[in-house]
Chains A and B, each alone.
Chain A
Amino acid sequence: MALTLHGTVTDNQAGILRPRKNITPLYMNGDMAVAQRGTSFASLSSGANQTLDRHGFVVNEGTFTVTQDSDVPTGQGFGKSLKVDCTSADTSISSDGVVQVYQRFEGQNLQLLKKGTSSAEYVTIAFWVKSNLAGNFTLEVKDQDNSRLIASQVTISSADTWEKKVVAFPGDTTGALTNDNNLSLQVTWWLVAGSDYNSGTLATSWEAQNNANRAVGNFNLASSTDNEFYLTGVQMEVGQFDADSIPAFQFEDRATNLARCQRYFERITTSGSGDSFGAGVCFSATQGRVDIRYSTVKRANPTITFGSASDFLLQAGNKSQAPTGLSSAGSSLHGFFCHTTNSGFTVGHGCVLLDNSTADATIDASSDL
C-alpha cells in the first residue's frame, strides 16, 4: 500500500513522532462551548469579570459586552466563539488603562512544562482570531508564582477575517511553578494597554515583570464602538510548533468539557418546577438544613451565591413555603449545607429544597482562579 505524505517530511514527522505529553487539553474550554454563567455579559467597564467558562475579562477603559457568539471560522469544527464588543469608546487611554481576555492555570496542572529547570519546555499557543481592527495586539504568558513573563506581538493582517495564529514561547529555566492548586500561570490577550504597559520594549524573552514591557505596540480596541474581537479554537501545546506542525485542536465531548470547567465554577439548577436540589431536615421551626452535592469536586472550597430565595421552595410533610433567605454552611470541595430561613415548620421533619417554578432557581459555586 502506498503512503502519500502531504506537506514536508519534517512537518509530518512533527505530527507523527511527537505525540502530546498531555492527554487532555491544557487550555480549557478553548472552543468556547461552555457558558454556565450565561451567554452575554453587558456593560463591562471595570474590574475582573468572569464570562464564558474559564475566561476572565479585565477592563478599566471603555465599556464592553462579552458574548458567546456563533461567528466561527468556516470548516474548522467550532460552533462558538468569544466576542468582545466595544459599546462605549475611549480614545484617551489613561496610563494604567487595560482591557484583557485571560485564562488562569493551576500550577499542579503545568508541571509537565518543567519550568525553572534546564529542561524547561517550549509552550505553543494557537488560536483563531477575527477583528475589524487590523493591527497588532499582544499575547502574554505570565508566571504568577515568580512574577516573570514573556510576550509576543500578534498581527491581524486582514480586517473582518478569521485568521489562525500560532505563537511559540521558549521554556523558562528560571522560576518553578508551585505544584499545588493555586494560580501559577496566566495567558492573556491584551486588547488595550496604557502607557504603564507599553512604554518599554516588549518582553519577547522571559524576564522579571516590568510592566512597561508587557504590551508594547498594542492596538486600542476601545477606540471605537465599531470595534469587536473574536476568539476561538485556543490550544496550548507543550513543545515548539509552527503553523505547519501544530497538532489539531483537541475537541472534547460536551460532558468532559463541562466537568473540567465545573472544577472552577458550577451553576446548580434544575429542569423546572418541583425538581429537587437536595434533602435535609428541619433543624428548627424557622430553618431547614439541606445537603447539596456538587457534580464535580472543586479546585478549592468554593464561594456560594444564591438566586432569589423566592425561586426556591422548602417542603416538609404537607407544608411548602418559599424561604425568605438562604445561606451556606459546612462547605467543602464536595458540597455544602444550604440553610433556609422559613417559619412554622416542625423540628425534626425531613425536608426537600425544590425549584419554585417562579423562575429558574440557581446556586452558584465558584472556585475560579
Chain B
Amino acid sequence: MSEYKLYNNSLGKPTIVCRKKDMAFIPMSEDNTDYQEYLQWVAQGNTAEEAD
C-alpha cells in the first residue's frame, strides 16, 4: 500500500499529498520540507495513490 495519497482541489487538480501514517496534508510546494521528503520518496521509484 502506498504511503501517500493525492488529493484534488475544487477544480479537480491534485494539489495536496496526504501522508497516510499521520494523515498530514502536504501542499505541493517545493519549499515545504514534508513535500521535499515526498519528492525524495518518489525519486526512489515509489508512486502515490491516485485521488478519488
Contacts and interface: CB of A to CB of B under 8 A. Distances in A.
Interface stretch (A28-36, A211-219, A252-260, A326-334): A326-334
B29 A305 contact: no
A93 interface: no
A46 to B, nearest CB: 14
Contacts of B27: 301-303, 328, 331
Nearest to B17: A303
Nearest to A298: B32
Contacts of B1: none
A183 B36 CA distance: 12
B2 interface: no
Interface residues of B, number: 19
B10 A289 contact: yes
Given A289-B10, A327-B7, A330-B10, A300 B32 contact: yes
Contacts, number: 58
B32 A329 contact: no
Contacts of A283: 10
Given A327-B16, A368-B33, A305 B7 contact: no
Contacts of A181: 31
Interface string A333-357: 0000100000000000000000000
Contacts of B33: 183, 300, 368-369
B40 to A, nearest CB: 14
Contact of A329 (B16, B23, B24, B29): B16
A274 B18 CA distance: 28
B20 to A, nearest CB: 12
Given A328-B16, A366-B34, 17 more contacts: A300-B29, A300-B31, A300-B32, A302-B32, A303-B25, A303-B27, A303-B35, A304-B24, A327-B18, A327-B25, A329-B15, A329-B16, A330-B9, A330-B15, A331-B16, A331-B29, A337-B10
Interface of B: 7-10, 15-16, 18, 22-27, 29, 31-35
